[in-house]
Structure 1
Protein backbone atom coordinates (compact mmCIF):
# COMPACT_ATOMS: atom_id res chain seq x y z
CA UNK A 1 0.00 0.00 0.00
CA UNK A 2 1.06 3.56 -0.73
CA UNK A 3 -0.14 6.33 1.56
CA UNK A 4 -0.54 10.06 1.09
CA UNK A 5 2.50 10.66 3.30
CA UNK A 6 4.51 8.16 1.24
CA UNK A 7 3.79 10.34 -1.78
CA UNK A 8 5.08 13.40 0.11
CA UNK A 9 8.39 11.59 0.70
CA UNK A 10 8.52 10.32 -2.88
CA UNK A 11 8.11 13.82 -4.30
CA UNK A 12 10.16 15.88 -1.85
CA UNK A 13 13.69 15.99 -3.29
CA UNK A 14 12.70 15.57 -6.92
CA UNK A 15 10.25 18.43 -6.56
CA UNK A 16 12.90 20.59 -4.92
CA UNK A 17 15.34 20.03 -7.78
CA UNK A 18 12.68 20.90 -10.36
CA UNK A 19 11.70 24.04 -8.45
CA UNK A 20 15.35 25.09 -8.30
CA UNK A 21 15.52 24.59 -12.05
CA UNK A 22 12.36 26.64 -12.53
CA UNK A 23 13.92 29.47 -10.52
CA UNK A 24 17.10 29.21 -12.63
CA UNK A 25 15.02 29.82 -15.75
CA UNK A 26 12.43 32.40 -14.71
CA UNK A 27 13.40 33.69 -11.25
CA UNK A 28 10.63 35.35 -9.25
CA UNK A 29 8.25 35.34 -12.19
CA UNK A 30 4.81 36.82 -12.58
CA UNK A 31 2.22 34.49 -14.08
CA UNK A 32 -0.77 34.67 -16.39
CA UNK A 33 -3.20 31.91 -17.37
CA UNK A 34 -5.71 31.82 -20.22
CA UNK A 35 -7.93 28.83 -19.44
CA UNK A 36 -9.81 29.01 -22.74
CA UNK A 37 -6.57 28.70 -24.71
CA UNK A 38 -4.78 26.51 -22.13
CA UNK A 39 -1.89 28.97 -22.15
CA UNK A 40 0.24 29.60 -19.05
CA UNK A 41 2.90 32.28 -19.21
CA UNK A 42 5.66 33.19 -16.75
CA UNK A 43 7.33 36.59 -17.06
CA UNK A 44 10.76 36.97 -15.51
CA UNK A 45 11.97 40.18 -13.79
CA UNK A 46 13.82 40.93 -17.07
CA UNK A 47 10.50 40.72 -18.96
CA UNK A 48 11.39 37.47 -20.65
CA UNK A 49 8.13 35.58 -21.27
CA UNK A 50 8.13 31.78 -21.09
CA UNK A 51 5.00 30.16 -22.52
CA UNK A 52 4.62 26.67 -21.08
CA UNK A 53 4.27 23.88 -23.63
CA UNK A 54 1.88 22.01 -21.35
CA UNK A 55 -0.14 23.20 -18.36
CA UNK A 56 -2.30 21.16 -16.03
CA UNK A 57 -4.64 22.63 -13.42
CA UNK A 58 -5.10 20.44 -10.34
CA UNK A 59 -7.51 22.27 -8.08
CA UNK A 60 -7.93 25.17 -5.70
CA UNK A 61 -7.11 25.66 -2.03
CA UNK A 62 -9.50 28.13 -0.38
CA UNK A 63 -9.27 29.83 3.03
CA UNK A 64 -13.04 30.24 3.50
CA UNK A 65 -14.15 26.60 3.45
CA UNK A 66 -10.65 25.51 4.53
CA UNK A 67 -10.59 22.88 1.81
CA UNK A 68 -8.97 21.76 -1.44
CA UNK A 69 -11.34 21.27 -4.37
CA UNK A 70 -10.12 18.98 -7.14
CA UNK A 71 -10.62 20.46 -10.58
CA UNK A 72 -12.45 17.34 -11.80
CA UNK A 73 -15.09 18.08 -9.17
CA UNK A 74 -15.37 21.77 -10.11
CA UNK A 75 -18.49 22.58 -12.17
CA UNK A 76 -16.66 25.34 -14.08
CA UNK A 77 -16.20 23.10 -17.13
CA UNK A 78 -12.50 23.27 -17.91
CA UNK A 79 -10.97 21.91 -21.12
CA UNK A 80 -10.26 18.19 -20.91
CA UNK A 81 -6.64 18.56 -22.02
CA UNK A 82 -5.73 20.59 -18.92
CA UNK A 83 -7.33 18.04 -16.57
CA UNK A 84 -5.13 15.06 -17.44
CA UNK A 85 -2.84 15.26 -14.40
CA UNK A 86 -5.73 15.70 -11.95
CA UNK A 87 -7.51 12.71 -13.51
CA UNK A 88 -4.28 10.66 -13.42
CA UNK A 89 -3.93 11.47 -9.72
CA UNK A 90 -7.51 10.39 -9.07
CA UNK A 91 -6.96 7.10 -10.94
CA UNK A 92 -3.75 6.53 -8.95
CA UNK A 93 -5.65 7.17 -5.73
CA UNK A 94 -8.37 4.70 -6.73
CA UNK A 95 -5.78 2.00 -7.44
CA UNK A 96 -3.94 2.52 -4.15
CA UNK A 97 -6.78 3.50 -1.83
CA UNK A 98 -5.64 7.09 -1.17
CA UNK A 99 -8.73 9.12 -0.20
CA UNK A 100 -6.99 12.50 -0.52
CA UNK A 101 -6.71 11.86 -4.28
CA UNK A 102 -10.25 10.60 -4.77
CA UNK A 103 -12.38 12.79 -2.50
CA UNK A 104 -13.80 15.74 -4.49
CA UNK A 105 -13.32 18.27 -1.68
CA UNK A 106 -10.58 17.59 0.88
CA UNK A 107 -10.74 19.46 4.23
CA UNK A 108 -7.46 20.99 5.32
CA UNK A 109 -8.00 19.38 8.73
CA UNK A 110 -7.74 15.91 7.18
CA UNK A 111 -4.29 16.59 5.73
CA UNK A 112 -1.01 15.85 7.55
CA UNK A 113 -0.38 18.54 10.14
CA UNK A 114 -3.92 19.96 9.71
CA UNK A 115 -2.72 23.10 7.90
CA UNK A 116 -4.86 26.24 7.92
CA UNK A 117 -2.84 28.15 5.30
CA UNK A 118 -4.11 27.57 1.72
CA UNK A 119 -0.52 27.70 0.45
CA UNK A 120 0.56 24.86 2.73
CA UNK A 121 -2.50 22.78 1.89
CA UNK A 122 -2.04 23.34 -1.86
CA UNK A 123 1.61 22.30 -1.52
CA UNK A 124 0.64 18.96 0.07
CA UNK A 125 -1.88 18.22 -2.68
CA UNK A 126 0.51 19.24 -5.44
CA UNK A 127 3.38 17.17 -4.04
CA UNK A 128 1.20 14.07 -3.90
CA UNK A 129 0.10 14.66 -7.49
CA UNK A 130 3.68 15.10 -8.63
CA UNK A 131 4.66 11.71 -7.22
CA UNK A 132 1.54 10.07 -8.63
CA UNK A 133 1.96 11.47 -12.14
CA UNK A 134 5.72 11.94 -12.57
CA UNK A 135 5.28 15.64 -13.40
CA UNK A 136 7.41 17.70 -11.01
CA UNK A 137 7.37 21.37 -12.02
CA UNK A 138 4.64 23.05 -10.02
CA UNK A 139 3.26 26.53 -9.50
CA UNK A 140 0.68 27.73 -6.96
CA UNK A 141 -0.94 30.95 -8.14
CA UNK A 142 -3.07 33.44 -6.21
CA UNK A 143 -6.52 33.63 -7.83
CA UNK A 144 -8.24 36.06 -5.46
CA UNK A 145 -9.43 36.17 -1.88
CA UNK A 146 -6.46 34.16 -0.65
CA UNK A 147 -7.37 31.14 -2.78
CA UNK A 148 -4.51 29.32 -4.48
CA UNK A 149 -4.77 27.33 -7.69
CA UNK A 150 -2.30 24.49 -8.19
CA UNK A 151 -0.72 23.94 -11.61
CA UNK A 152 1.81 21.53 -13.08
CA UNK A 153 3.86 22.94 -15.95
CA UNK A 154 6.14 21.74 -18.70
CA UNK A 155 8.62 23.49 -20.98
CA UNK A 156 11.89 22.17 -22.47
CA UNK A 157 13.86 24.70 -20.41
CA UNK A 158 12.34 23.41 -17.16
CA UNK A 159 13.64 19.87 -17.61
CA UNK A 160 16.62 18.79 -15.54
CA UNK A 161 20.10 18.78 -17.07
CA UNK A 162 22.59 16.01 -16.44
CA UNK A 163 23.58 15.90 -12.76
CA UNK A 164 26.47 18.07 -11.58
CA UNK A 165 28.09 18.11 -8.17
CA UNK A 166 26.87 21.55 -6.97
CA UNK A 167 23.21 20.80 -7.60
CA UNK A 168 23.50 17.21 -6.33
CA UNK A 169 24.99 18.50 -3.09
CA UNK A 170 22.51 21.35 -2.71
CA UNK A 171 19.45 19.17 -3.23
CA UNK A 172 20.59 16.65 -0.63
CA UNK A 173 21.78 19.14 1.98
CA UNK A 174 19.04 21.75 1.60
CA UNK A 175 16.33 19.16 1.12
CA UNK A 176 17.17 17.03 4.13
CA UNK A 177 17.65 20.11 6.32
CA UNK A 178 14.55 22.07 5.32
CA UNK A 179 11.90 19.68 4.02
CA UNK A 180 9.57 17.60 6.14
CA UNK A 181 9.93 13.85 5.68
CA UNK A 182 7.82 11.09 7.17
CA UNK A 183 10.52 8.55 6.27
CA UNK A 184 13.84 10.11 5.27
CA UNK A 185 15.28 6.89 3.90
CA UNK A 186 12.29 6.41 1.62
CA UNK A 187 12.62 10.01 0.45
CA UNK A 188 16.31 9.61 -0.42
CA UNK A 189 15.84 6.29 -2.22
CA UNK A 190 12.76 7.50 -4.11
CA UNK A 191 14.66 10.57 -5.29
CA UNK A 192 17.63 8.49 -6.42
CA UNK A 193 15.36 6.10 -8.32
CA UNK A 194 13.54 8.92 -10.09
CA UNK A 195 16.79 10.70 -10.95
CA UNK A 196 18.34 7.51 -12.29
CA UNK A 197 21.16 7.31 -9.74
CA UNK A 198 22.85 4.10 -8.67
CA UNK A 199 21.71 2.88 -5.24
CA UNK A 200 23.53 0.49 -2.90
CA UNK A 201 22.59 -0.51 0.64
CA UNK A 202 25.05 -1.71 3.27
CA UNK A 203 23.23 -2.11 6.57
CA UNK A 204 22.34 1.34 7.90
CA UNK A 205 24.27 3.09 5.10
CA UNK A 206 22.77 3.88 1.69
CA UNK A 207 24.99 5.09 -1.13
CA UNK A 208 23.57 6.99 -4.09
CA UNK A 209 25.80 7.96 -6.97
CA UNK A 210 26.08 9.22 -10.52
CA UNK A 211 29.04 10.10 -12.73
CA UNK A 212 29.39 13.54 -11.13
CA UNK A 213 28.84 12.87 -7.43
CA UNK A 214 28.06 10.38 -4.71
CA UNK A 215 26.68 10.40 -1.20
CA UNK A 216 26.98 7.94 1.66
CA UNK A 217 24.09 8.36 4.07
CA UNK A 218 23.76 6.64 7.45
CA UNK A 219 20.30 6.15 8.94
CA UNK A 220 19.14 5.20 12.41
CA UNK A 221 16.48 2.60 13.27
CA UNK A 222 13.70 5.13 12.51
CA UNK A 223 15.15 5.79 9.01
CA UNK A 224 16.35 9.25 10.05
CA UNK A 225 19.66 10.59 8.70
CA UNK A 226 22.41 10.64 11.31
CA UNK A 227 25.40 11.33 9.02
CA UNK A 228 26.02 12.11 5.37
CA UNK A 229 29.16 12.51 3.25
CA UNK A 230 28.89 13.99 -0.24
CA UNK A 231 31.71 13.51 -2.74
CA UNK A 232 32.61 15.32 -5.93
CA UNK A 233 33.64 12.40 -8.11
CA UNK A 234 35.74 14.58 -10.41
CA UNK A 235 38.02 15.74 -7.58
CA UNK A 236 37.04 13.28 -4.83
CA UNK A 237 37.02 15.83 -2.00
CA UNK A 238 34.29 14.89 0.53
CA UNK A 239 32.11 17.33 2.39
CA UNK A 240 30.61 16.27 5.70
CA UNK A 241 27.23 17.10 7.17
CA UNK A 242 25.72 15.79 10.36
CA UNK A 243 22.02 16.68 10.47
Structure 2
Protein backbone atom coordinates (compact mmCIF):
# COMPACT_ATOMS: atom_id res chain seq x y z
CA UNK A 1 0.00 0.00 0.00
CA UNK A 2 1.41 3.36 -1.01
CA UNK A 3 2.10 5.90 1.71
CA UNK A 4 -0.40 8.80 1.54
CA UNK A 5 1.00 12.03 0.11
CA UNK A 6 1.34 14.83 2.66
CA UNK A 7 1.86 18.57 2.62
CA UNK A 8 5.41 18.00 3.87
CA UNK A 9 6.08 15.72 0.89
CA UNK A 10 5.05 18.47 -1.53
CA UNK A 11 7.17 21.04 0.30
CA UNK A 12 10.18 18.72 0.08
CA UNK A 13 9.54 18.06 -3.60
CA UNK A 14 9.50 21.77 -4.38
CA UNK A 15 12.26 22.97 -2.08
CA UNK A 16 15.42 23.31 -4.15
CA UNK A 17 13.84 23.84 -7.56
CA UNK A 18 11.55 26.51 -6.13
CA UNK A 19 14.45 28.24 -4.39
CA UNK A 20 16.40 28.36 -7.64
CA UNK A 21 13.46 30.02 -9.38
CA UNK A 22 13.19 32.63 -6.63
CA UNK A 23 16.91 33.31 -6.91
CA UNK A 24 16.51 33.71 -10.66
CA UNK A 25 13.74 36.24 -10.08
CA UNK A 26 16.06 38.18 -7.76
CA UNK A 27 18.74 38.16 -10.47
CA UNK A 28 16.23 39.54 -12.98
CA UNK A 29 15.04 42.29 -10.66
CA UNK A 30 18.62 43.30 -9.89
CA UNK A 31 19.07 43.88 -13.62
CA UNK A 32 16.11 46.26 -13.46
CA UNK A 33 17.80 48.31 -10.75
CA UNK A 34 15.44 50.35 -8.60
CA UNK A 35 11.99 49.14 -9.58
CA UNK A 36 8.33 49.00 -8.64
CA UNK A 37 5.59 46.50 -9.27
CA UNK A 38 2.30 47.05 -11.07
CA UNK A 39 -0.43 44.46 -10.65
CA UNK A 40 -3.80 43.96 -12.30
CA UNK A 41 -5.42 40.89 -10.78
CA UNK A 42 -8.38 40.75 -13.13
CA UNK A 43 -6.09 41.04 -16.16
CA UNK A 44 -3.78 38.40 -14.59
CA UNK A 45 -0.77 40.63 -15.10
CA UNK A 46 2.16 41.57 -12.88
CA UNK A 47 4.83 43.92 -14.25
CA UNK A 48 8.09 44.85 -12.57
CA UNK A 49 9.14 48.26 -13.83
CA UNK A 50 12.65 49.68 -13.58
CA UNK A 51 15.42 50.18 -16.12
CA UNK A 52 13.35 47.79 -18.20
CA UNK A 53 10.12 45.84 -17.76
CA UNK A 54 9.63 42.29 -16.62
CA UNK A 55 6.10 41.24 -17.59
CA UNK A 56 4.49 38.14 -16.14
CA UNK A 57 1.16 36.35 -16.04
CA UNK A 58 -0.20 35.72 -12.56
CA UNK A 59 -2.43 33.35 -10.71
CA UNK A 60 -3.76 34.24 -7.29
CA UNK A 61 -3.12 31.53 -4.71
CA UNK A 62 -4.44 33.18 -1.58
CA UNK A 63 -4.04 35.92 0.97
CA UNK A 64 -2.95 36.19 4.58
CA UNK A 65 -4.54 38.42 7.20
CA UNK A 66 -2.74 39.22 10.44
CA UNK A 67 -5.96 40.69 11.84
CA UNK A 68 -7.93 37.51 11.25
CA UNK A 69 -4.92 35.24 11.73
CA UNK A 70 -5.76 33.16 8.67
CA UNK A 71 -4.76 32.11 5.19
CA UNK A 72 -7.65 32.38 2.70
CA UNK A 73 -7.38 30.44 -0.57
CA UNK A 74 -8.00 32.49 -3.71
CA UNK A 75 -10.98 30.43 -4.84
CA UNK A 76 -12.74 31.30 -1.55
CA UNK A 77 -12.03 35.04 -1.70
CA UNK A 78 -15.33 36.98 -1.52
CA UNK A 79 -14.02 39.79 -3.77
CA UNK A 80 -15.34 38.01 -6.85
CA UNK A 81 -12.24 37.69 -9.02
CA UNK A 82 -12.56 36.22 -12.51
CA UNK A 83 -12.30 32.42 -12.59
CA UNK A 84 -9.04 32.64 -14.53
CA UNK A 85 -7.45 34.57 -11.65
CA UNK A 86 -8.13 31.86 -9.06
CA UNK A 87 -7.87 28.85 -11.38
CA UNK A 88 -4.52 27.79 -9.91
CA UNK A 89 -5.92 27.75 -6.39
CA UNK A 90 -8.81 25.59 -7.60
CA UNK A 91 -6.34 23.13 -9.14
CA UNK A 92 -4.57 22.95 -5.79
CA UNK A 93 -7.87 22.31 -3.98
CA UNK A 94 -8.79 19.51 -6.38
CA UNK A 95 -5.37 17.93 -5.89
CA UNK A 96 -5.84 18.23 -2.13
CA UNK A 97 -9.20 16.44 -2.32
CA UNK A 98 -7.69 13.63 -4.39
CA UNK A 99 -4.91 13.06 -1.87
CA UNK A 100 -6.69 13.93 1.37
CA UNK A 101 -4.55 16.98 2.20
CA UNK A 102 -6.85 19.25 4.20
CA UNK A 103 -4.52 22.25 4.14
CA UNK A 104 -5.09 22.41 0.39
CA UNK A 105 -8.87 22.07 0.56
CA UNK A 106 -10.07 24.07 3.56
CA UNK A 107 -11.05 27.57 2.45
CA UNK A 108 -9.51 29.29 5.48
CA UNK A 109 -6.66 28.02 7.63
CA UNK A 110 -5.25 29.35 10.94
CA UNK A 111 -2.07 31.25 10.22
CA UNK A 112 1.32 30.03 11.46
CA UNK A 113 4.69 31.65 10.69
CA UNK A 114 5.58 29.19 7.92
CA UNK A 115 2.11 28.43 6.55
CA UNK A 116 2.14 30.78 3.56
CA UNK A 117 5.53 29.58 2.25
CA UNK A 118 4.58 25.92 2.77
CA UNK A 119 1.28 26.28 0.92
CA UNK A 120 3.03 28.20 -1.86
CA UNK A 121 5.65 25.47 -2.22
CA UNK A 122 2.96 22.81 -2.42
CA UNK A 123 1.04 24.82 -5.01
CA UNK A 124 4.15 25.05 -7.17
CA UNK A 125 4.36 21.26 -7.36
CA UNK A 126 0.69 20.94 -8.26
CA UNK A 127 0.60 23.72 -10.87
CA UNK A 128 4.16 23.38 -12.20
CA UNK A 129 4.41 27.17 -11.94
CA UNK A 130 7.60 27.65 -9.95
CA UNK A 131 7.97 31.36 -9.18
CA UNK A 132 6.12 33.08 -6.36
CA UNK A 133 5.49 36.74 -5.63
CA UNK A 134 3.64 38.45 -2.80
CA UNK A 135 2.70 42.02 -2.00
CA UNK A 136 1.02 44.00 0.76
CA UNK A 137 -2.61 44.76 -0.06
CA UNK A 138 -3.40 46.74 3.08
CA UNK A 139 -2.43 46.82 6.76
CA UNK A 140 -1.62 43.26 7.81
CA UNK A 141 -2.90 41.78 4.53
CA UNK A 142 -0.71 40.11 1.94
CA UNK A 143 -1.62 38.60 -1.44
CA UNK A 144 0.32 35.55 -2.62
CA UNK A 145 0.73 34.85 -6.33
CA UNK A 146 2.38 32.45 -8.70
CA UNK A 147 3.80 34.15 -11.78
CA UNK A 148 5.00 32.89 -15.14
CA UNK A 149 6.70 34.25 -18.23
CA UNK A 150 9.47 33.38 -20.70
CA UNK A 151 12.13 35.27 -18.77
CA UNK A 152 11.43 33.26 -15.63
CA UNK A 153 12.68 30.03 -17.21
CA UNK A 154 15.89 28.89 -15.54
CA UNK A 155 19.22 29.00 -17.32
CA UNK A 156 21.10 25.72 -17.75
CA UNK A 157 22.26 24.25 -14.43
CA UNK A 158 25.83 24.75 -13.34
CA UNK A 159 27.83 23.37 -10.46
CA UNK A 160 28.50 26.50 -8.36
CA UNK A 161 24.90 27.71 -8.50
CA UNK A 162 23.52 24.25 -7.68
CA UNK A 163 25.71 24.04 -4.56
CA UNK A 164 24.57 27.52 -3.52
CA UNK A 165 20.89 26.78 -4.16
CA UNK A 166 20.89 23.60 -2.09
CA UNK A 167 22.84 25.16 0.75
CA UNK A 168 20.70 28.28 0.92
CA UNK A 169 17.38 26.44 0.61
CA UNK A 170 18.21 24.33 3.64
CA UNK A 171 18.42 27.46 5.81
CA UNK A 172 14.71 28.33 5.52
CA UNK A 173 13.67 25.44 7.75
CA UNK A 174 11.01 24.07 5.39
CA UNK A 175 12.86 20.95 4.21
CA UNK A 176 12.09 17.91 6.36
CA UNK A 177 13.37 15.14 4.06
CA UNK A 178 16.70 16.16 2.56
CA UNK A 179 17.12 13.09 0.34
CA UNK A 180 13.65 13.41 -1.14
CA UNK A 181 14.24 17.11 -1.79
CA UNK A 182 17.55 16.41 -3.54
CA UNK A 183 16.19 13.62 -5.73
CA UNK A 184 13.18 15.74 -6.65
CA UNK A 185 15.48 18.60 -7.66
CA UNK A 186 17.58 16.25 -9.79
CA UNK A 187 14.44 14.96 -11.51
CA UNK A 188 13.07 18.45 -12.19
CA UNK A 189 16.46 19.64 -13.41
CA UNK A 190 16.87 16.46 -15.50
CA UNK A 191 20.16 15.58 -13.86
CA UNK A 192 21.43 12.02 -13.80
CA UNK A 193 21.96 10.64 -10.30
CA UNK A 194 23.87 7.77 -8.77
CA UNK A 195 23.08 6.78 -5.21
CA UNK A 196 25.43 4.72 -3.04
CA UNK A 197 24.40 4.36 0.58
CA UNK A 198 24.79 7.74 2.24
CA UNK A 199 26.02 9.41 -0.95
CA UNK A 200 24.19 10.77 -4.00
CA UNK A 201 26.08 12.04 -7.03
CA UNK A 202 24.47 14.49 -9.45
CA UNK A 203 25.86 14.80 -12.96
CA UNK A 204 25.78 18.39 -14.21
CA UNK A 205 26.89 19.65 -17.62
CA UNK A 206 30.37 20.61 -16.43
CA UNK A 207 30.93 18.39 -13.43
CA UNK A 208 29.71 16.13 -10.66
CA UNK A 209 28.22 17.19 -7.34
CA UNK A 210 28.63 14.65 -4.55
CA UNK A 211 26.18 15.03 -1.66
CA UNK A 212 26.64 13.09 1.55
CA UNK A 213 23.99 12.44 4.21
CA UNK A 214 24.50 12.00 7.95
CA UNK A 215 22.99 9.29 10.14
CA UNK A 216 19.75 11.29 10.45
CA UNK A 217 19.35 11.58 6.68
CA UNK A 218 20.34 15.24 6.57
CA UNK A 219 22.69 16.69 4.00
CA UNK A 220 26.03 16.77 5.76
CA UNK A 221 28.36 17.86 2.99
CA UNK A 222 28.68 18.73 -0.68
CA UNK A 223 31.71 18.61 -2.93
CA UNK A 224 31.99 19.47 -6.59
CA UNK A 225 34.34 18.15 -9.23
CA UNK A 226 34.74 19.82 -12.60
CA UNK A 227 35.09 17.15 -15.27
CA UNK A 228 35.06 16.87 -19.03
CA UNK A 229 31.90 16.05 -20.90
CA UNK A 230 33.21 12.57 -21.67
CA UNK A 231 33.59 11.62 -18.01
CA UNK A 232 30.87 9.42 -16.48
TM-score normalised per structure 2: 0.89
Residue deviations 1:153-210, cap 9 Å, x none? Answer: 1111110111123322221232234553111111111111111111221111111222
Q: How does 1:44-55 map to 2 (within 5 A)?
A: 44=50, 46=51, 48-52=52-56, 54-55=57-58
Are 2:41 and 1:35 equivalent residues in the alignment?
yes
The within-5 A match list for 1:1-243 is: 1-27=4-30, 29-44=35-50, 46=51, 48-52=52-56, 54-108=57-111, 114-115=112-113, 120-234=114-228
Which sections of structure 2, spanning at least 5 residues, go unmatched?
Answer: none
Indicate the larger mover: 221-230 or 123-132.
221-230
Spell out, residue by residue over 1:18-55, the C-alpha distance to the aligned partner (whole angstroms, 9 max, x if none).
011111112374222112322211123x3x22221x21
Aligned-residue CA RMSD in angstroms? 1.8
**C-alpha deviation, 1:234, in angstroms:** 4.8
In structure 2, what is the Cα distance between the partners aligned to 1:36 and 1:156?
21
**Which residue matches 1:111?**
none
Structure 1 portions without partners, runs of 5+:
109-113, 236-243
Please list the CA deviations of residues 103-160 of structure 1 after superposition, one character each: whole Å capped at 9, or x if unmatched. Answer: 000112xxxxx42xxxx43222211111222111110111111211111111111101
Alignment partners' CA distance in 1, 2:24 and 2:35: 13
In structure 2, do the counterparts of structure 1 residues 2 and 78 end up closer, same or farther at CA, with 3 Å as the change threshold? same
User: 1:163·1:212 contact (CA, 8 Å) conserved in 2?
Assistant: no
Q: Per-residue deviation at 1:79?
A: 1.3
TM-score normalised by length of structure 1: 0.85
2:59–2:145 Cα contact (<8 Å) kept: yes
Distance, in Å, in 2 between the alignment partners of 1:89 and 1:2 is 14
Deviation at 1:17, TM superposition (A): 0.5
CA 1:63/1:200 → structure 2, altered by over 3 Å: closer, same or farther?
A: same
